[in-house]
Structure 1
Amino acid sequence: MREKDAKLPPTEQLTANIGSGPYKFKEALAKPGASFTYDRNEQYIPRQEPAEGWAGGKVIKVDRAIWQNISDPQTALSALQAGQIDFVNSPPADLYGTIKSDPNLELQLLDTGGDDLYVQMNFLQPPFNNVKARQAMLHLIDQEAFLRVISPDPDYSSPVISIFGNSGPYSNDENTGWYKKGGDPGRAKQLFQESGYAGEKVYLFQFTDWPVASDAALLLASALRKIGVNVVLGPMSFSAFVEARKNKGPVENGGWSMAINDWSDLSWAIQSPVPSII
């Protein structure tokens, strides 16, 4: 952060995007929603120690980096195969086989901790303002079933048992009784009934530009319907969701009930938001 930005009063919003240090943000080339361009900062001097996560020396390898937002995974893969782009971040699992079979491409595991998907519940409104409805979700979720849908290759997926994630410095095997292997729909249905749930609409966000979360939402909706929950899916882009979730009122007033999101596994250990993991 620049000194003049750091000296701004805490009530004043920062308006300038300057880059990361190693790279300078090219505001004139910015196309919000489409692409952002960064150029090498010739005045940047990296630290001497090796890079490790967010720390260490950040050595600049290329003169210009362009971050393109290609929402359709197949379009992104086609651009990669055609040499129009050099790297695709987090391709969906159903494209792993295609990438592996292409002699000109390489599938690399760069983040060994990965991301953990979780369910956010609007606990300000029914039915999740009742603790038993929230407990029902813990029994309903079958992590292995979700992984078979969103990331079936066991080399790239695993359940999350520790509330501190699988790969962080605080991950451990203590107090893991909350993990319900295989799920228990019968117990989940009973808890919903005990919560006083009477068939009210449960609004679940479904992201149209995030295939993994979209598939997870479809599976979650199916599991809820099987135990008698009246689920309504709300298809929308992630950017639209960011605005829509601000309304935490009742569903009938434009509010919502549930959303599937993710968090890096390492972050569970260092700044855990502690929602319900799936």
Structure 2
Amino acid sequence: MHRRSLLAASSLLAAPAFVPGLARAQGASRAGTLRVVPETLTTILDPHFTTSFTTRDFSYLVYDTLLAVNDKWEPTPQMAERWEVSPDGMEYRFTLREGLTFHDGTAVTGEDCVASLRRWGARDALGGTMLRATETLDAPDPRTLRIKLKQPFGLVLQALSKPGAMVPMIMPKRLAETPPNRPVTEPIGSGPYRFVAAEYRPGDRIVLVRHEGYRPRTEPSAWASGAKRPTFDRIELIAMPDVSSQVSALSTGEVDYLERLPADVLPILRRNRDVKVQVVSPFGYQGLMRFNHLQPPFNDVRVRRAVMMAVDQADYLPGVAGLPEYGRECRSMLGCGTPYETTAGMPLKPDMEAARRLLRESGTDLSRPVVILHPADAPGIASLGLVTQDLLTRLGFTVDLQSMDLNTFFGRRTRPEGWNLFHTTNTVPDMQTPLQNPYMDGAGAPAGFAGWPQDEGVQQARAAFAGATSEEERKRAAEEAHRHAAEAGFYMPLGQFVAASAWRAELTEVPMGPAMFLWNIRRGR
């Protein structure tokens, strides 16, 4: 945010805010309604279809998972009451808790879990690796789920409890049988809140109300694990792209919670006694530049590597971190501060001259426009694209920066034609192993993730990581996967950063964690 937008935000604080639509509470009391402004508002309501943060956060309210990790990264039971593992580690049996019901009133069964996990595994890198190692995935009875492996895979519990997109959420079998290449449009889960279709306005508002049949666990809440109590009658997720409007609405109490804010406005909010500003996820995010490996010029590894050599992360971090203490340079695809951090195969510093030499060697036609998909309504991503536009121009490329909204962006990047490069951010906990990081999938098209790099060396190292029986073996495999992916130019990390959220000071018990969790929050003490 530039100085003029900061001043605009400041001036708005002097007068009461009125945001169209917020005055209508549909009969619900203001005290019983939590109004939340996500960074962007998704129109994809299928947890298995996209890595969108807003889809993930919406899904955590509507759906639930068999297992969940706590703040010590330990898999714990969630929908499962317990699990058993055979002595040879090749068979897992999960027993569901009694009384679990979906929002349509039907009971949750093992068959629902089987269908949901199959659908998730068809879309998620880690889930797909687990299913490829699985001989049998079935439900011996209504409360039991069985996974029988055909080859060693030591990350079953970690896969089923992964906290980030795509999360292995459980939905009714009839919905889970929707083809994986088509999004589910009827969001029905067994989570603490249910979706209100009658009040849904795509791109503007998502309304959820308490699921009266939800049975929270009794253990203390930690991240996505433990008790998820629906403490509000109603949650409204509201689109509000303008940051000045967000600041004004929070300051005057029109809204309660802002998910992610540029650092420029934090001094204003910190001076307001009615507002609390805090970093919810200390692990933060990684910015990344993703190449389309199927289209020229980035179907040539020399061109991908040339751009990677030219990247100076110091140019990118101010736009996403804002404050110096919120950002750090990090060239590890697996994140910095994680157990498998490595820079193997990665350019270790920017070198424009080396980049230009490699481009000349490639013989690339620089007059052919390079299309950058640019989600202009997502500030945390859009700033990255502007820096890359300048970088590619300095390298001699002709650049076509195509602006669009975030939901259009998600749709465009799934198609192999019509674009050459995009930017995004991902939470560091979702990238800390070569199996969890979807951008390190080397399966190619159509099985791999958007960008579709193909590399057998990466795939072999990922398989070695999955089958490793010791931590030393996993570290070797992770480094080997990273080396291959970096040398093949899967993508370029653009630094690591945290971002602050803000909420009304009267809200208490706001959860911390790697996603925006909205359960257990109370208004007042």
When normalised by structure 1's length, the TM-score is 0.88
Q: CA, structure 1 residues 243+15, in 2 after alignment: closer, same or farther (shift >3 Å)?
A: closer
Q: What is residue 188 of structure 1 aligned with on the other side?
A: 355
Q: Aligned residue for 2:194?
A: 24
- Could you say what secondary structure the match of 2:384 adopts? helix
Q: Is the 8 A contact 2:190 2:214 kept in 1?
A: no
Q: Partner residue of 1:107? A: 277
Of 300, 305, 315, 1:130 maps to 300
Quick one: which amino acid aligns to residue 276 of structure 1? M
Structure of greater Rg: 2
- The answer to whether residue 425 in structure 2 is matched with residue 262 in structure 1 is yes
Q: Distance in 1 between matches of 2:326 and 2:385?
A: 20
Task: Answer yes or no: is the 8 Å Cα contact 1:121–1:258 preserved in 2.
Answer: yes
Match of 1:222 in 2: 390
| Residue matched to 1:7 | 173
The alpha-carbon distance between structure 1 residues 242 and 149, as it changes in their structure 2 partners (threshold 3 A), is: closer
- Asked if structure 1 preserves the Cα contact closer than 8 Å seen for 2:332 and 2:493, the reply is no
User: How many Å separate the matches in 2 of 1:178 and 1:148?
Assistant: 22
In structure 1, the residue matched to 2:378 is: 210
Cα deviation per residue 1:122-158 (whole Å; 9 max; x = unaligned)? Answer: 1111110000111112211111221123323133222
Give the Cα–Cα distance (whole angstroms) in 2 for the partners of residues 55 and 41 of structure 1: 18
- Name the amino acid aligned to 1:225: T
Per the alignment, do residues 212 and 122 of structure 1 end up closer, same or farther by CA in structure 2, a change over 3 Å counting? same
Contact 2:291/2:420, CA 8 A, preserved across alignment: yes
Could you tell me how far 1:209 is from its partner in structure 2?
0.4
Residue by residue, what CA displacement relative to the aligned partner does 1:227-246 show, whole Å, maximum 9, x if unpaired? Answer: 21111111111122223334
The equivalent of 2:244 in structure 1 is: 74
Q: Are residues 1:54 and 2:229 paired? A: no
The CA deviation at 1:193 is 1.7
Shift of 1:53: 2.4
Residues 47-72 of structure 1 deviation map (CA, whole Å, 9 limit, x = unaligned): 22222222222133322211111112
Q: Which runs of 5+ in 1 are unaligned?
A: 250-254
Contact 2:251 2:269 (C-alpha < 8 Å) held by counterparts: no
Q: Which of 486, 490, 493 is the matching residue for 1:277?
A: 493
* Alpha-carbon contact 1:167-1:266 (below 8 Å) kept: no
The residue type paired with residue 234 of structure 2 is R
Q: Secondary structure at the match of 1:259?
A: strand
Name the aligned partner's letter for residue 10 of structure 1: E
In terms of mean alpha carbon deviation, does 146-155 or 116-125 score higher?
146-155
Rounded to whole Å, the distance in 1 between the matches of 2:322 and 2:348 is 19
Whether the 8 Å CA contact 1:127–1:195 is kept in 2: the answer is no
Percent pairwise identity: 27
Tell me the distance in 1 between the aligned counterparts of 2:354 and 2:273: 49
CA 79–11 in structure 1, closer or farther in 2 if over 3 Å, else same: closer
In structure 2, how many angstroms separate the alpha carbons of the residues matched to 1:95 and 1:180?
A: 33
Distance, in Å, in 1 between the alignment partners of 2:244 and 2:347 is: 35
User: How far is 1:15 from its partner?
Assistant: 4.1
Counterpart code for 2:320: I
1:117, distance to aligned residue in structure 2 (A): 1.3
Secondary structure of 1:234's counterpart equals strand
Distance 1:39 1:231, change over 3 A: same
- 1:45: which partner in 2? 215
Please give the root-mean-square deviation of Cα atoms over the aligned residues, in Å.
Answer: 2.2
Q: How far is the alpha carbon of 1:180 from its aligned partner? A: 2.5
Report Cα offsets for 1:2-59 as digits up to 9, x if no partner. Answer: 4475433735574422356111222222111111111222322222222222222213
Contact 1:19 1:25 in 2 (8 A): no
- Matched residues in 1 for 2:403 and 2:178: separation? 35
Per the TM alignment, residue 219 of structure 1 is displaced from its structure 2 partner at its CA by: 1.1
**Going by fraction, where is strand more abundant, 1 or 2?**
2
Matched, 1:198 2:361: no
Residue 160 of structure 2 is matched in structure 1 by none
The offset of 1:159, in angstroms, is 2.2
What is the alpha-carbon distance in structure 1 between the residues aligned to residue 172 and residue 230 of structure 2? 25
CA distance 1:139–1:20, shift in 2 (3 Å):
farther
Q: Could you tell me the TM-score, scaled by structure 2's length?
A: 0.48
Matched, 1:85 2:255: yes
1:189-246 CA deviation, whole Å, 9 max, x = no partner? 2222222212121111222201232222111111111121111111111122223334
- 1:177: how far off? 5.4
CA contact (8 A) 2:194 2:208 kept: yes
Contact 2:335 2:431 (8 Å CA) reproduced: yes
Mapped contact 1:245–1:256 kept (Cα < 8 A): yes
Q: What's the counterpart of residue 252 of structure 1?
A: none
Q: CA separation in 2, counterparts of 1:112 and 1:179?
A: 26
Deviations 1:164-209 (A, max 9, x none): 11354x343x44451524x112222222222221212111122220
Distance, in Å, in 1 between the alignment partners of 2:351 and 2:275 is 42
Mapped to 1, the partners of 2:377 and 2:390 lie a distance apart of 20
Partner of 2:24 in structure 1?
none
Structure 1's 139 and 191: CA in aligned 2 closer, same or farther, altered over 3 A?
same
Q: What are the equivalent positions in structure 2 for 1:134-173 lying under 5 Å apart?
A: 134-168=304-338, 170-172=339-341
Pair 1:259–1:91, CA change in 2 (3 A): same
Question: Are residues 240 and 141 of structure 1, via their aligned partners in 2, closer, same or farther at CA, if it must alter by over 3 Å?
Answer: same
Equivalent position of 1:119 in the other structure? 289
